[in-house]
Amino acid sequence: TEGGGTIAQLPEDDHNSNNNLTVGDRVVYGSLGSYAEYTTVPISKLVPVPPDLDMPTAVACMTQGLTAHYLSSSVGAGIARPGDWVLIYSVGSGTGQWTAQMCTQRGYRVIGTTSLGKAEAYDSEDDAATSLKCERLIVLENAPGKSYADYASVDIPSKVLQLTDGEGCKLVIDGVGKSTYETSLACLAKRGLFVSFGNASGAVPAFPPLRLLPQSAYLTRPKLNEYVATREELMGRATELFGWVRDGTLKITVDKVMDLEDVALGHEYVEEGKSRGKILYKV
């Protein structure tokens, strides 16, 4: 989990010599644990927060925002180009919400999926698609008794082929996992890339490489840490991300800010598919 706050203490050696950080600086970090009043974080993983950016927004950027940044800019480089179709699941919240905005910004034609419950928060389906930065939006029924989408409620591959004039998608960005990987494979264009980056419904089971043969397709299973592996890469992505947030290019939704003692309620809220943005905890 990501976190943020002010620096309480720095090491006395020279490890900070190239980072220009001081006690009291506002900083954020990602994926290192944050359910505590104090955390120990490697200096190289701390990102200074610009003076005109509030802390909740900066914290919200660190995992989902940076993940969306590498998904939209790096993973499909050389495979997808501006003007190509991209399928992104769960654009109504979480990483999908960020990724749809960034892919649209980079010139991709985005098809997004969302649940009926989240789509109904907008005046119309077209309004939802516009607000979620999708050229086309596939609205799925809610799973019985749940707030999250039932991915079997719509024939997504048929819908995708219809929307793309039979072409399919050059990128399929899938954070759902077990429930959608078959659909993802069926939605790929020739020489398209299946990006399986999450396991919201469970891990994707093993399948033979021959499954990629019909479209001469590619498969990758990336993780954020490998795309912010150096200080230079981390700061480059974070600086660009903060800039887009500050100038209004990216719309960030912080759904709830809860007390840390209510963390179990927050987890239940996310697991039930009710979230429409970032869930943060304050200490």
pLDDT above 80 for 14: no
Query: pTM here?
Result: 0.93
The overall average pLDDT reported for the chain is 93
What average pLDDT score do residues 187-202 get? 96
Distance from C-alpha of 39 to C-alpha of 5, rounded to nearest angstrom = 10
pLDDT digits (tens, 9 = 90+) for 155-166: 999 999 999 999
Contact predicate 68/102, CB 8 Å: yes
Distance from C-alpha of 62 to C-alpha of 65, rounded to nearest angstrom = 6
pLDDT above 90 for 93: no
Quick one: pLDDT at residue 274? 80
> Of the candidates 65, 138, 145, which has an alpha carbon nearest to the alpha carbon of residue 99?
65
Contact predicate 27/221, CB 8 Å: no
Share of the chain above pLDDT 70, in %: 98
Quick one: pLDDT at residue 148? 83
pLDDT digits (tens, 9 = 90+) for 131-144: 999 999 999 999 88
What average pLDDT score do residues 58-86 get? 95
Pairing, β 136-140 against β 169-174: unpaired
Confidence of residue 275 (pLDDT cuts 50, 70, 90): confident
pLDDT digits (tens, 9 = 90+) for 238-259: 999 999 999 999 998 888 999 9
> Of the candidates 132, 123, 122, 129, which has an alpha carbon nearest to the alpha carbon of residue 251?
132
Q: What angle do CA 181, 186, 190 make, to 5 degrees?
A: 120
pLDDT digits (tens, 9 = 90+) for 108-129: 999 999 999 899 999 999 999 9
